[in-house]
Amino acid sequence: MLTALALAFLAQLTPSTGNNVSEDLSLRLTPEVLVTRAVRPAVVSIQAEVPQVDMFGQTRIATSGGSGAVIYDDGWVVTNFHVVNGATSIKVSLEPIAGQPPVEFTARLVNSVAEEDLALLKIDAPPGTVFATVTLGTSSDLMVAEPVIAIGNPYGQTLTVSRGIISGLHRDITIEGQGLRFSNLIQTDASINPGNSGGPLLNIYGQLIGINTVVNRQAENIGFAIPVDRIQEVIEESLLAPSRAASWYGFDVDSKSAVAVGGSANGDETVAFRVTSVTPGGPAARGGFEVGDLLTGWGERRFQSADAFVLARAELTPEVPVRFVVRRDGRDRVIELRGWERDEGLVFDRAGFKGRTSLMSDRRYRRYFTWIEEIRPGGPAERLGLRQGDLIESFQAKGRQVVVPRSPQILALYLNTLEPGAEVDLDVWRDENENGQLDYSNAVSELLRGTLVIE
C-alpha cells in the first residue's frame, strides 16, 4: 500500500511531456528574459588601464572595470566618466557567441563631461563593422514602482542581469571626495555594484532609461542612474558638439543647416556645411579657410546627413594631418590642417594666446606658470600688451578666487565658465633684462599686472 502511494506521488513529480513542455517554456519567457536577450549584445564590458603613483613614487598600472551601452551601430559607447578617467588603454568586450571567448576590441575616449560623469567611447573596429545598439527611451514619464532591469559587469562577472523597480525619482546625490553633485537621478533597488557603472538601466520594453552611476554603500538595494533625457542633452550639447570636439581647427560650421551638393561615388546624395567663422591665427585661417566656404568632407569621407557629419567630426584627433575639402566659387579645394588640443584652442579663441605649462623650481620654491608661446592678432592678449615668452602666474575673475594655471586644461575649464566681456586680472612675469631670472625688488620688478577682457 505504501509503495503504491509513493509511486503515485512520484508520478505527480515527473516532468510533463508533449505539448505541456512548450506551454511551460512560454511561462518562463518573461518580459525580463526577452529584454535581456534583446539588449545584452549591445552592452559592453570595459577594462581601463590607469597609471597610478604609489607612496614610494613608483608608477604602476591599475585596472578598473565598468560597463557601457552601444548607442550608434558603428561603435559609439556611452559610459560613466569615472570608469575611464585617466586611462591610457581601454578595451571593451561584447557578448560572446556560444562556446566562443568574448569578442574584444580596443576603444578610445572621444569626449567626456566630468561634472556629468559621462563619457563617449569609439570602438576601433574594421570598416563596415555593425554593432547591436540599445534603443533610447525617455525618462520624462517614469513612474515610481515600475519594473526596471540593470545589465552590467559587477566584480568582473560579465553581463550580469538584475531586476527591480524604480524606488524614487528626482534624487540629488553628492559624491564625497570627488566634488561631484548629481541632481534629478533615478533611484532603483535593482542590484548595482562596482562594475555596473556605465551600464544600462532599462524599462520593461528594453529601452534605455538611464545609465547606472552610483550606489549607496551604506545601505542595501539603493542605486542611482542618470536619466536618459539628460544623457541625450549632454551628448548633443557637449559630447558630440563640434565646438567640444577633441581636435580644434579654428573654424565653425552650421551643422544644423546642411546644403545638398550632389551625389557621392556610390550614388548617394551628399551634403555640405557652410563655414560660419574662422579664428584669426588659428589652423584654419593659416590654411586658407574663409567664411562662406562649403565644407564637403575630408579625405574620402562624405556625408549623407548632419548626424553623420557630427559623428565623423568627433573622431578627429589633434596633431594628425587632415585633408579637408572645401568648395568655393564652384571649385573644390583641399586644405590640410593639423588640429590643436581643444583646451589650447579654447584659450586661443577666448583669451587670445596659446600657452603651455612651465614649471620653475629651486631649493626655495616650486612654481607653475602658463608660458605664452603665441599671440592671436587682434585678440584680448594683444590688446592687453602681452608678449610671447610672458609667464602668467595667476588669474582671477571679478568676485572669484585666485587660480594658478597649472595646465591649459585648468585655464580652459575656468574660461569656459565666463561670459564674453568678463574681466580677468592677471599676474604676469616678463624677463625684461633677459637674465633668465624673475626679479622682484625695490630696485627692479618684472611682475606686471593687467586685466584681460574675455571674448
> In this structure, are 318 and 382 located in the same domain?
no
Give the pLDDT score at 13.
Answer: 47
The pLDDT value recorded for residue 7 is 47
**How would you class 453 by CB atoms within 10 Å of its CB: exposed for 0-12, middle for 13-18, buried for 19 or more?**
middle
Domain shared by 366 and 318, yes or no: no
The structural domain count of the chain equals 4
Whether residues 352 and 293 share a domain: the answer is no
Cβ atoms of residues 190 and 151 within 8 Å: no
Q: What is the pTM of this model?
A: 0.78
Q: What's the grid cell of residue 125?
A: 573596429
Kindly state whether residues 353 and 402 are assigned to the same domain.
yes
Instruction: Round to whole Å and give the CA distance between 276 and 290.
Output: 9
Check residue 100 and give its pLDDT.
64
9, containing H or E segment: helix 2-13
Where in the sequence is the domain holding 190, given as residue range(s)? Answer: 135-235
**Last residue of a domain, which of 296, 318, 338?**
338
> Are 375 and 440 part of one and the same domain?
yes
**pLDDT at residue number 19:** 54
Q: Which stretches of 93-243 are DSSP H helices?
A: 228-234
What is the DSSP secondary structure assignment for residue 235, as one 8-state letter?
Answer: I
For residues 454 and 300, give the distance between their C-alpha atoms in angstroms, rounded to a whole number: 38
What does the block give as the cell for 442? 625695490
Q: Is residue 17 part of a domain?
A: no
Q: How many residues does the chain have?
A: 455
Give the phi and the psi of residue 448 in degrees, each rounded to 5.
-115, 150
Q: Do 372 and 439 sit in the same domain of this protein?
A: yes
As averages over each run of 10 residues, the pLDDT of the chain (455 residues) reads: 47 50 74 93 94 81 92 95 93 77 88 92 92 95 96 82 94 72 90 85 97 71 91 92 89 87 69 94 96 94 90 92 95 95 92 85 68 93 93 87 80 85 91 70 74 92
Neighbours of 162 (CB within 10 A): 21
357 and 326 housed in the same domain: no
Check whether residue 385 and residue 424 sit in a common domain: yes
Q: What is the pLDDT of residue 20?
A: 55
Q: Final residue of a domain: which of 92, 123, 154?
A: 123
Structural domain includes residue 28? no
pLDDT at residue 247, rounded to an integer:
94
pLDDT at residue 5 in the model:
45
Does some domain include residue 404? yes
CATH number for the domain spanning 323: value is 2.30.42.10
26 lies in a domain? no
Backbone φ and ψ for 31, nearest 5 degrees, come out as: -55, -35
CATH number at residue 196: 2.40.10.10
Please give the positions annotated as active site.
82, 117, 197
